Homo-oligomer: A and B are copies of this chain.
Amino acid sequence: MSTTTATFSGVVPPVVTPLSPAGEVDRGSLERLVHRQLAAGVDGLFVLGSSGETVFLTDAQRDVAIDVVVGATAGAVPVVAGAIEPTTPRVMERVRACERLGADAVVVTAPFYAIVGPHEIRRHLTAVAAGTHLPVLAYDIPVCVGRKLSNDLLLSLAQDGLLAGVKDSSGDDVAFRQLLLALEDAGVQGFSALTGHEVVVDGMLLAGADGAVPGLGNVDPDGYVRLHRACAEGDWATARKEQERLVRLFRIVDAADPATTAGATRGVGAFKTALHLLGVIDSPTVSLPMRAYDDDEIARVRMQLDLAGLTVHA
């Protein structure tokens, strides 16, 4: 566990955005989802991340999602909001919306679609940070944007006070470990290094991460809160045991037929299907071009929920 006093730390699940069958943001379901998170004791919420279908939603839908999460959270924990668009001018439009709607921080990726190099990425993050009073967290997700944020970049932006943290979804724990020590050696204070990988939270907290942003936390926030607490107490045997239960639960992302589905459908689709089975959200609807799960796929999700000891709504 980190010894620094990061602003954003602990368990910060990236909440899904429940949709009605007609494709509208389902306010009631989203409120229930938030209340369940808060009841579990999470330390923050991340709205409009990849799990939140951020790039599938129109701006109007996004605004509703932020509004509902901020409202339902009611200041209990910080709400960080994705401002995920390909380029600076478009990100800034979303940053303005996040400011207006009361988010506590914004989360920004490297540019995507646009072909950029390290200089453009630095200019992008710098311009966004300079353009808002909100804290900015970098979102390192090369599988989506095609490029990794270098440790050199993250460190220098952290030192310059332009970044409040990073959500690391790079899958590159080697680089993340090196970043953690580089931040410490540079004496950077208050920077939040959060792992986005729900299956290695114990190891990353052991390594000094400030917290986790687990997509699977949508489904089992209690498990992640227990996991985090065990780590905080240095009870690594308990932490590992809880983590292993969650690693197995994470197999819900293998429920969809791999011959006809890919990443987005398998992740968000599984989380929503599980939340629907658990009675938290009214519909498992996902945005196009993803598709709904069929009966066999739903049955496989249900089986994993059972194995993990989660009570499935009849």
Contacts and interface: CB of A to CB of B under 8 A. Distances in A.
Interface residues of A, number: 69
A55 B207 contact: no
A145 B124 CA distance: 19
A174 B199 contact: yes
Interface string A208-247: 1000000000000000000000000010110010011001
Interface string A192-218: 000001011011101110000000000
Given A197-B173, A203-B206, A240-B207, A113 B289 contact: no
Central interface residue in A93, A120, A123, by most chain B CB within 10 Å: A120
A260 B119 contact: yes
B173 A144 contact: no
A143 interface: yes
Interface string A229-273: 000001011001001100110100000000011111101000000
A259 to B, nearest CB: 8
A202 B206 contact: yes
Q: Residue among A86, A199, A208, A289 with the most chain B CB within 10 A?
A: A289
Contact of A264 (B120, B143, B200, B290): B120
A143 B117 contact: no
Nearest to A125: B289
A174 to B, nearest CB: 5
Contacts of A21: none
24 contacts: A23-B89, A55-B90, A56-B87, A56-B90, A87-B287, A89-B287, A114-B264, A115-B263, A116-B265, A117-B260, A117-B262, A119-B260, A120-B291, A171-B172, A173-B173, A173-B203, A174-B199, A177-B199, A178-B250, A181-B247, A200-B207, A202-B206, A207-B240, A208-B240
Interface of A: 23, 55-59, 61, 84, 86-90, 93, 111-117, 119-121, 123-124, 127, 143-146, 171-174, 177-178, 181, 185, 197, 199-200, 202-204, 206-208, 234, 236-237, 240, 243-244, 247-248, 250, 260-265, 267, 287-291
